[in-house]
Structure 1
Amino acid sequence: MHIDLTHKIALVSGSTTGIGFAIAEGLAESGATVILNGRTQAAVDHAIATLIARFPAASVRGVAADLGTAAGCEALFAAEPQVDILVNNLGIYGTQDFFEIPDAQWSNFFEVNVMSGVRLSRAYAPAMVQQGWGRIVFISSESGLNIPTEMIHYGFTKTANLSVSRGLAKRLAGTGVTVNAVLPGPTLSAGLEAAFADSAKKAGKTIEEAATAFVLAKRPSSIIRRAATVEEVANMVVYVCSQQASATTGAALRVDGGVVDTIA
């Protein structure tokens, strides 16, 4: 299968590092013009330079905007009013006991993880419908199904991503615009690498070994028995953004290594 996204414009929110950057790489490698996004211009510029260094022929640009706010989403849309592919990747996470999470933290997680995707989809979907083709992808998580007790506020937002993506897919039925959710499991992104750096060093292990130990201890139902790579997650996203995925919509596509113990 050859995925060709030439002449398509793709926007990936929160794409200066981690899974978002890997998705941007995959889309650029497939020929799409890619719009990167981060909160600071320095981060965006660095990501653009890194991507172009890897793919010199890529068409890449970026917008610095805090999409955890309505104003940031409006600024991004004003700067880039037309896209064919929207990947709502932006998300934050963190461990915190339920009884210690203040209202402000719940609101912040909801604004960043849920409302950023809602606002961008509301802005970009109408033009996709008008042209009869478009792709919208929400990056959810296995934590949206398998709610972690140490991150209930995070799991709640990832469940919300599934509700929005499924509902929007139904709302856009028959338009040529597909809407899907992709659910990564534990993934060896920059954030996870940073979280394991100290413990790995103290234990005399590599970060990959520390991540594997985490998966075995905290996600024992994992079938692959390790953390996924960001490229493995990006591969699924690039596929659902492709022409070939035209019959895939309203789906919750797991790249969780089998963590969620279900056959449906």
Structure 2
Amino acid sequence: MLRFAALTVILLGTPGAAQQPSKAEQFFGKEELARQVGLHEKGCKRGDAGECFNLALAHAQGLSVPKDEARAATLYKKACDKGHLDACNNLGIAYAQGVGVKKEPKQALSLFEKTCEAEDAKGCFNAGMSHASGGDVARAATFFERSCGRGHATACFSLGLAHAQGQGVKKDPQRAATLFSQACEAGNGAGCNVLGGAYMAGIGVPRDLKRGVALFEKSCDAGVPGGCFNLGLAHQRGHGVAKNPERARSFLQKACGLGHTPACENASNPK
């Protein structure tokens, strides 16, 4: 089956990794991919919501069919109307961004809240992001809470930021650290990085430099630029580890390669 996830963070994300057409073709082969898409077409015509959703993904990504975002949106709607929650989420993202349909934030939010009420963690997270982008941080926090409670790592991270900054909820460093830990354990590398900073500074948790370094390392391994940058600084300054200029430079260069500008400056002119 085709797998798809729309956005990740910043706006209306659903986690995962969408296959690029070339990778899908490499994995399945062109003939097999075309056969699968043909089966999805037949299944959708029979009224199978899952097959309509898979066919929508094929049109959204141009997998063995011409890329057609409007057609994808139509198919998402067909699947959503039959109760397919992932289709409702993707249709919501389409309305949020105006991809294949006219941009309608209210319609997007309605779809996200519909999936959230059906106990879908992605829907709750997306609803939270919609409220946050609209400036209602308190309402956003309630949806992040619901999504985090259902295991959505990025929702736990977002709720942690809210508690750390006192946005829409009471400022609570200890609660924030707990949420960052949940996010980190669930695979959110940014959560590991922020939690590492908390241990380094003793904010919401006892100060523990070695623990901070371990979390920066976990974050860097996950490809988070800030995690690599902080890990480089720790080795550069001897915070939680022995000073090691070579390892410091290596981590700073990795962060630079991931687009972290201060890391590029620091790697070129170490202090």
TM-score by length of 2: 0.27
Which of 1 and 2 has higher RCO (CA within 8 Å, sep 6+)? 1
Give the structure with the larger strand fraction: 1
TM-score by length of 1: 0.27
Give the structure with the larger helix fraction: 2
User: For the pair shown, which has the larger CA radius of gyration, 1 or 2?
Assistant: 2
